[in-house]
Structure 1
Amino acid sequence: MWMRKWLTTLAPKGFLWKLTALNVMIITLFIVLSGLAMYNTACFLVESMGSLNNEKQVYFNSTLLQYLWLFSLIAILIGSIVHYLLTKKLVSPIKELIESTKSLKEGSYPDPIQVSSKDEMTEFVEHFNELIQQLKVNEYHRKKFVSDLSHELRTPLSNLNGYLNALQKGVINGDSSLYHSLYNESQRLTKMMNQLEQLKEWDYASYNTVAEKESVDISSLMNQCVSMFQWSLNEQQIEIEVNMSSRVLSLNIEGIQQVLTNLMDNAIRYYEGNSPIYISGTEKKDSYFISITGPGKSISEEQQQAIFERFFRTDPSRSRETGGSGLGLAITKEIIEHHNGEIGLQTDGDVHSFWISLPLR
């Protein structure tokens, strides 16, 4: 039984069998042709020397041919076994790739394939392992996104359904205040759907290297953004100081305008304190650095790590009241990354600075 199992394991199958058979045929042909050439050459040389009579010459030729066949068979056998073992070692990662692909097809993520050699096959396996890891990450974010989205939609939809059902049954009477609240709730849903659509577009844009970019003075864009918020700043009595150096950059104007608008809106919405909002922009080496700094509630280190994630809020209850969806900073991050830039947050107690870095070229 163990002998049969050993032979089954040793016996080549499929691709390995075809490759082994092909190479054995090539090895056999090469050895036979080489052997016949050496045999004929040896016989000719001995015969030309004239030191053997006909009987000894025939005996010499016959003995040489026997040894030639014997050594040829031994060489073919040893060469075939060595070739098979080496080929089996080379194609073993392919078998693991096949099994891993089957597991992936069945819906489970396989363990990383271990390889010890350093060749093209190793590189291929490493890329496959990275692909599996990326699929795991994508699946995690997809589930988290669906969970977050359902959570975000559940509250406003429940409110709308509850009030509309009560109005339909005559349990409550409608008035302007109630209708205004319902309208605001529906507007918040509409805004969230629009932001999700924008997020989807910039997700797609991140894989598309061709984008509509124009040369524009970044300081001019910032001044336009500040002017749009001037009424809100005056109403809340918030001072603002802008110090932007002029620099022409190649940008997707609509996208960068949205970035600046999101950051300004964020600074005003969560403003708490007396100091002004500071906006600065300057060149640093091969990039243009913009920061928007203002006072607000303290942000923990854990919150700082997650602040650019979708649907994240530092203060969920307050964000719902003010209409925030937790998507603004996520969209901002997508747009900046599409421009090959960087975005981050620096905080010092209750003073927070959102910064972006855009390449000069």
Structure 2
Amino acid sequence: MANRKKLGSLLTQLTFLNTFIIAAVILIAGFTVKNYACNLVNQQQITGADLESLLNEYLIKVSALAFILAGGFHFFFIKWLTTPLKKLTEATQTLKRGQHPGKLKKTLIYEVKELNEAFNDLSETTALIKAKQNQLLRDLSHELRTPLTNLTGYLEGLEKGIIEGDKEIYRSLQEETQRIERLLQQLVHINQWTADEKNVYHQEEILIHELLRNRITAFQLKFKEKEIDVTTELAQCSLRGNRDGLHQVFSNLLQNIADYDIGKKLFIKGIVADQQYRVQFSHEGKKIPEAEKDLIFERFYRVDSSRAFVTEGAGLGLAISKEIVHAHGGTLTLDTDGHHHQFEVRLPANHMINKENNDESTMV
């Protein structure tokens, strides 16, 4: 609708300009012929057939000159107008062929300028999506290569009689198949949460502090094994959301912290501010370079093993968590100085419950 209005505005301006040029040419020709006729009659005293002949000759010359000037002006103006449109058309055809066109230059025509800017944004977005898709395919093939290679090796060994089947081998085969299955399930899950229709998931009223406390309790044994002291300070609050989705967000974050914590202390704080419920997970973990703190939410991303660590999973947990939080209208961020990390989840909140009665606890 907006593009149609812009196109209509451009056509209106062109019509007005053409009308103005025609009217100007007629007026100029008319006044010129009038002045010439007055000059012939008043100053040169020419009348009758001679006057008519001279006026006809002069009118033809004036008309021809006006036609040339008007046509030339119109030609160069239309060329000036259509050149960026032709370039836009060529760039669109290039994009249609799957290639990346160069960035279109700015033009003085406002409507065409907006079209160029919109196309440049579309082109950059398309290139980014294509790059992410290619990276996703490379990462996916890398993740599948190891378990498939293991499966192929075991099966060939069993077929050729190089190895004999036993419970240990069958267990290994089962682990590899389960690994592939988990990876595919995670990809399906993350695609569901990145769908355009964000309202497809079931929402319900949730006491978010209770859900978070339950998740912390579920990880209590793991934290004890890792000798991590956990301190919580959770304001009570309710909000609308998907229970299973938020359950997975907090589970992924707690699992990530349990795997990579080195400071042996975790502080979890839940507060209500600016109509949001903010959950902060603060701890000291293995090194995450400052420049890469946003990349850990990308699919399959892992911190360079030469500088820090390599995860054992597929690198999808934090990516899924971020998409789930975004689907709730919130944000998931990481603030770090390299070693001291603070993950923060922000979710739209309904209201606090007993604002002064926060849930505070400490466990080992």
Distance 1:273 1:352 in 2: 11
Q: If the length of structure 1 is used for normalisation, what is the TM-score?
A: 0.77
Q: Retained in 1: the 8 A contact 2:294–2:333?
A: no
Residue pairs, 1:188-199, within 5 angstroms: 188-199=179-190
Distance 1:236 1:26 in 2: 82
Match of 1:158 among 141, 149, 163: 149
Match of 1:257 among 244, 247, 251: 247
> 1:73 maps to which residue?
64
The code of the aligned residue for 1:81 comes to: G
Post-superposition offset of 1:187? 1.2
CA-to-partner distance for each residue in 1:70-106, whole Å, 9 max, x for gaps? Answer: 3233222211110111111111111112222333344
Post-superposition offset of 1:268? 1.8
Post-superposition offset of 1:348? 4.7
> 2:324 maps to which residue?
335
Among the aligned pairs, what percent are the same residue?
A: 33
Q: Retained in 2: the 8 A contact 1:290–1:355?
A: yes
Q: Retained in 1: the 8 A contact 2:25–2:70?
A: no
CA-to-partner distance for each residue in 1:301-343, whole Å, 9 max, x for gaps? Answer: 34424211111223778633xxx11001111112222233222
CA-to-partner distance for each residue in 1:272-299, whole Å, 9 max, x for gaps? Answer: 3432x22111123343211122343222
Match of 1:319 among 284, 305, 311: 311
Post-superposition offset of 1:228? 3.0
Post-superposition offset of 1:165? 1.7
CA-to-partner distance for each residue in 1:181-202, whole Å, 9 max, x for gaps? Answer: 2222211111110000011112
The code of the aligned residue for 1:218 comes to: I
The code of the aligned residue for 1:312 comes to: Y
Distance 1:34 1:196 in 2: 72
Mapped pair 1:219 → 2:209: yes
RMSD: 3.4
Distance 1:193 1:220 in 2: 31
SS at match of 2:232: strand
Mapped pair 1:129 → 2:120: yes
SS at match of 1:307: helix
CA-to-partner distance for each residue in 1:226-273, whole Å, 9 max, x for gaps? Answer: 233344345545442222112222323332222112111212222334
| RCO higher in structure (CA 8 A, sep ≥6) | 2
Post-superposition offset of 1:67? 3.3
Mapped pair 1:240 → 2:261: no
Q: Retained in 2: the 8 A contact 1:192–1:325?
A: yes
Residue pairs, 1:2-151, within 5 angstroms: 56=47, 59-61=50-52, 63-151=54-142
Mapped pair 1:344 → 2:336: no
Q: Retained in 2: the 8 A contact 1:28–1:76?
A: no
> 1:281 maps to which residue?
270
Post-superposition offset of 1:65? 4.4
Q: Gapped runs of 5+ residues in structure 1? A: 1-19, 46-50
Distance 2:212 2:111 in 1: 50
Post-superposition offset of 1:37? 12
The code of the aligned residue for 1:356 comes to: V
Post-superposition offset of 1:159? 0.8
Distance 2:338 2:118 in 1: 43
Distance 2:80 2:209 in 1: 62
CA-to-partner distance for each residue in 1:11-60, whole Å, 9 max, x for gaps? Answer: xxxxxxxxx9xx989966996799799999x99x9xxxxx9xxx935654
Distance 1:38 1:123, change over 3 A: same
SS at match of 2:47: helix
Distance 1:100 1:263 in 2: 44
Distance 1:266 1:242, change over 3 A: same
Distance 1:66 1:192, change over 3 A: same
SS at match of 2:194: helix
Mapped pair 1:183 → 2:166: no
The code of the aligned residue for 1:173 comes to: E
SS at match of 1:319: coil
Distance 1:235 1:148 in 2: 32
Q: Retained in 2: the 8 A contact 1:27–1:76?
A: no
Q: How many residues get paired?
A: 324
The code of the aligned residue for 2:159 comes to: Q
> 2:218 maps to which residue?
228
SS at match of 2:233: strand
SS at match of 2:282: strand
Distance 1:98 1:345, change over 3 A: same
Match of 2:343 among 348, 351, 354: 354
Post-superposition offset of 1:63? 4.1
SS at match of 1:210: helix
Distance 2:68 2:233 in 1: 82
> 1:271 maps to which residue?
261
